[in-house]
Amino acid sequence: MKQPRRRSAAPQNPGPMQQSVARNIHSGHAVPVGSAGLSGVMPAADLDRLTQFLSNLTMEIDNAIDPNTANPHLNMILHLLQSHSAGRIVSPSSMVSAAGVPYATATRKLAEIQDAGLIERRARTKTGKSFSLHPSSDLLEGFSQLADRIDRLVRASFEVMDPSPETTDYYFGGSYQPGRAAIPPLSALAQPLKLSGGLRILVHGDPTFMVMEGLKRQFEQIVGTNIHQRAFSIDRLREEALRNAERPKSRYDLIAIDLPWVGEFVEKGVIRPLDEVMDIARLDPADFHTAGWRAAHWGGRPYGVPSQTTPELLFFRKDWFANEAIEPPTTTAGVIDAARHFHNPQRGRYGVAWNAARGTALGHTFMMTCAAFGQPIIDIPKIAGGFDTDNLAKGGFTPTLNTDRALEAADYLMQLMDYSPPDILSMSWYERVRPYGAGHVAMAYGYTLLAPYFELDQNSPAHGNTGYLVHPHGPQGAPIAPVGGYVLCVPTNLPDERIDDTVEALVSFTSPGAQKLYAQNGSRTEPRYSVGADPEVRRLSPIFGLLDQMSWRDELQFWPRPPIPQVSQIINICGHELHDMLRGIVSPRHALDRVQARAEQILRQ
């Protein structure tokens, strides 16, 4: 008799980009899924596709052939892997039920799998009598490699052809090049974290951290405790982190801080140096993009681990440029020419979108625009490939916000105004990408973390039609991609008894396996070289390959927003004074003189 099959396909666990409403915390607007939202078919991890394929295949074979013999080893392993991906707890009894054979046989076969080192047991109670089962790192790595082999076998056997050059390179040797091996999925920690009340994290409300929130169940299985993530807009995040530092005990185990805040948070004693609480070698520092890793340092010491490295680029509509036989712009003059060409308000088309909202948004834009003209905002010395950021902790700098190059940057912003959407003066982080994704704008400055708004929305006119460029530069500037993103830090006032387990969580959340999982669920940030080299990740978006190329060309730079302790105040000043300039209240020269005078006063203090 044929053994009855009760195993069913693992339920699909939608990520945050698949929810009916994606909340944009910068603007407070709800983003409906569809043409203007973050929808689209999310690329599944190769391991998930493999387990689902094998599960469906065995079920079809079982139903087609009678008599047959069940494969309890495979049945239980597939159940374990599918549950691991979905973040479901697996007990020995559920494994036995999934085996498809009598209880005694299933129990014996389960013991064989455990003896082979394919399963790890983790205690769920202090007595250890109750425990959960998790796939071992060997099992995860083995099935990850099997996914590659089965994919190639299916393509070869059924003559499935993929014209994509990236895919062809991968299936005909690309994955065997140095550094191109697929990263296996995350395995569960051998010991669950013992954090009273669970792991508490303070983050920014951007798409990457929202991906992490959507994967909470999976990560709770990885670390063995509840995860509580609290998200704020950029200004409120800084305020809450500083407020938390004044408390006797931190409310958060980990806090995400924007790269420009590192110096301020170190000088104010908000975050701990990592080399005090962990062995830095565990992080594999050489695997991080150089700019992102160096930006996490102050005074030569690391204070955070890059959670997302996201350069600001120029997005442009490849189809529009190709149809008009216009070359993508590499200079600021080229941006103006292209914006002028495509700007047609009568047809609802505009040349360019960018951060021009008053305050923090415009302040960041001005600093990065100054960098495009070769002007840092303080008098840091020039070195090969950029400017020296290794000695920022020594202080003693003078602002350089009213130089001739800074004036050229301000004039450039004034020119952009002529070819921008009518609501440009209220556009900030998300608002500049929304009209681009909706097909109303030819170009938009934006961080790669915002690319999911059109890359994952198949209804967006920009979907599949977007090219990415480093910042076009002025006459005396050079091509650079200003690095943004967040590092995860340990608060100084975190109680000592929580530090060790918090460090374990920090290592897990920033590991290659975790970063790959974020990418597979919609993130377009990439802190590690190994993640960008992963063939499965490379197929998700052209962004990942471009980031690696930019890093190797030394175009990823963080000096445009030097993380000096006063930088947040200077950003705020620039964002207010230059907003008056864009509104025509003051001239560019007058606005820059005011910014310079106020910045000098701040740096003297």
CATH of the domain at 84: 1.10.10.10
Find out whether 457 and 317 touch, Cβ atoms under 8 Å.
Answer: no
Residue 578's contacts (CB-CB under 8 Å, 6 or more residues apart) are 362, 363, 366, 410, 413, 591, 595
Is 54 within a domain?
A: yes
How confident is the model at residue 601, as a pLDDT? 96
478 and 493, same domain (yes or no): no
Is 462 within a domain?
A: yes
Sign of CA dihedral 369, 375, 380, 386: positive
What distance in Å separates the CA atoms of residue 448 and residue 375, rounded to the nearest whole number?
A: 23
Q: Which stretches does DSSP call E strand in 375-518? A: 382-383, 386-387, 441-447, 466-469, 481-489
What distance in Å separates the CA atoms of residue 222 and residue 74, rounded to the nearest whole number?
A: 22
What distance in Å separates the CA atoms of residue 467 and residue 315, rounded to the nearest whole number?
A: 6
Block means of pLDDT (10 residues each) for the chain, length 605 residues?
A: 37 37 34 34 54 77 75 84 77 82 86 86 72 83 75 69 42 38 83 92 91 89 92 94 97 96 96 96 94 94 95 97 96 98 96 96 97 96 88 94 97 98 94 95 96 94 97 95 96 96 96 93 92 91 92 92 96 97 97 97 90
469 and 496, same domain (yes or no): no
How confident is the model at residue 504, as a pLDDT? 96
What distance in Å separates the CA atoms of residue 79 and residue 62, rounded to the nearest whole number?
A: 17
Closest CA to 436 of 334, 350, 343: 350
Closest CA to 339 of 284, 451, 275, 415: 415
How confident is the model at residue 432, as a pLDDT? 93
451 and 416, same domain (yes or no): yes
DSSP state of 462: T
Q: Which two tokens stand for residue 82?
A: 């599918």
239 and 374, same domain (yes or no): no
300 and 316, same domain (yes or no): no
The residue with tokens 């190329």 is 549
421 and 443, same domain (yes or no): yes
215 and 305, same domain (yes or no): yes
317 and 205, same domain (yes or no): no
- Cβ neighbourhood burial of 459 (10 Å; 0-12, 13-18, 19+): middle
335 and 468, same domain (yes or no): yes
Is 163 within a domain?
A: no
Q: Which residues is 383 bridged to in the sheet?
A: 386
Find out whether 320 and 408 touch, Cβ atoms under 8 Å.
Answer: no
Q: Which two tokens stand for residue 314?
A: 């120029």
534 and 585, same domain (yes or no): no
How many residues in total does the chain contain?
605
Is 470 within a domain?
A: yes
Last residue of a domain, one of 99, 118, 144: 144
Is 302 within a domain?
A: yes
456 and 381, same domain (yes or no): yes
**Phi, psi angle pair for 442, to nearest 5°:** -80, -35
Is 276 within a domain?
A: yes
* Degrees, nearest 5: CA angle 516-280-295: 70
Is 17 within a domain?
A: no
209 and 320, same domain (yes or no): no
Number of domains in the chain: 3
Distance of CA 248 to the CA centre of its chain: 32
Is 211 within a domain?
A: yes
The domain spanning residue 462 has which CATH number? 3.40.190.10
Q: Which residues is 285 bridged to in the sheet?
A: none
The residue with tokens 């954090």 is 195
- Cβ neighbourhood burial of 368 (10 Å; 0-12, 13-18, 19+): buried
Find out whether 277 and 503 touch, Cβ atoms under 8 Å.
Answer: yes
Which structural domain, as residue segments, surrounds residue 465?
310-482+557-604
